[in-house]
Amino acid sequence: MDATEAKRKILLNVYDYFVKEKNHGGVLTSVMAVQQRTADAVQVSKQTVVRTCAMREIGSDLKRNPYRRSKPRRTDLPENKKHTIRCLIYDMYANKEHVTLDTLLAVIKLKDLCDLGRTSLFYALKEMGFKFKMTNNRRGLCEQSHVVSMRNVFLRKYIKNLESEIPHDFVFLDETWVFSRGATKRTWQDDRAKSLQQPHKASDGKRYIIIHAGGRNGFIEGSSLIFSSTNKSFDYHDNMNAELFEKWFEESVLKKLAQPSIIVLDNASYHTRKSEKIPTASSTKEEISNWLKMKNRPFDTGMFKAELLEIVKNHSQATITKYVIDEMALQYGHEVLRLPPYHCHFNPIELVWGISKKFYDDHIVATPGRQEDVLKIWNDALAKVTPDVWNRCVTHTEEIIKDTFNREKIIDDVRPLIFTVNTGSDEESDYLSESDNDA
């Protein structure tokens, strides 16, 4: 309701009130009850009239809504208190405790750290960079030491190429799947078990495995591969093998790239077939011994198989592992850059899959789900991902990569805070210099 409409409504309310008095032959309320008469005429509560008159008397802004509460003030905590609360939160996570405003506030009061209310703690946590969101177990996996090391290697190489004078093009590849009758993430269900779909029936129809590659300029023309699955495993990776992937990788990617490129992919088993077969526990003792002789690694012929495998392990860790597809890429003048585990969000093709599969699932349901229907709808879905869409997906992903890299640098530069507690007497503190006090 705008101001003019509100004024007209008040005018009509007052008019109707006077008409009632006319029909009544006199006043409806005593003329001495000014506030009540005003409330009846305007059709508001008497308390509203009282509050508004009081606001005018003290010179308050009449435009302000008296019912609207002012925003709670943030509590400006000193840095040492913020650090203490942060460490307290980390300790609660280490002890597998739930961290909520109530549980955290209870611990703060128990330890008598500072005088904070619930709302003040909320704003303090926001100011410290904390967010109240769903628990993500993937974050825990991402922060394992070996994963962090691989992430840093990936980030450094990626950023180095971006900032070079003549950067190479990035090519992103991945595998995914679709079902001949589509897939739905949400369905109408009630509380009964009959409305729940079993995992192996979550998406009806034949499963098709898809491989593709692309970059800022769109998909690599002719690199799409789609085939029906013959494996009933829940994991679509089980339908792929190193031989099939390496053949597609060379014919449909390496031979089609005109300029030296950096090819980004994950660590699926068929991406990581080693150039040299290293003995394992399934190898015979003779095979292990022959391998060690070939590598000129000394060993005692009387050693047990487990001892020989330990020598193999130590040798393998001391040498750089070479992968088949890495060497294939080098032969064509390209480089392979592997994603760190659990970091699929560093690959923009995941966003492309999301766009393509949504279009596919929305349109395949209107067809019988035959093979020709699957191929046609999927090709239509890929056509929706234009070079402009690809470019936006890559830009979005690179912003995530840059932010992560900057965060890693900040964490790397953080120095531990050291609090020095003076246990001496007041007389002893008088002899401390100003610089000592500052320290």
pLDDT in tens, 242-256: 888 999 999 999 999
Write down the pLDDT at residue 121: 87
pLDDT at 99 over 70: yes
CATH architecture of 145-186+201-275+322-413: 2-Layer Sandwich (3.30)
Write down the pLDDT at residue 235: 46
Closest to 334 (Cα-Cα) out of 267, 257, 432: 257
Average pLDDT over residues 387-395: 96
The residue among 318 and 241 whose pLDDT is bigger is 241
Q: CA distances (Å), 169 to each of 257, 263, 402, in order?
A: 10, 9, 17
What's the rounded Cα separation, in Å, for the pair 422 and 439? 11
pLDDT at 391 over 70: yes
Are 203 and 182 spatial neighbours (Cβ–Cβ below 8 Å)?
A: yes
What's the rounded Cα separation, in Å, for the pair 309 and 115? 60
**pTM of the predicted structure, to 2 decimals:** 0.62
The residue among 413 and 359 whose pLDDT is bigger is 359
Most confident of 53-62, 360-369, 396-405: 396-405
**Considering the chain, what percentage of its residues have pLDDT values greater than 90?**
33
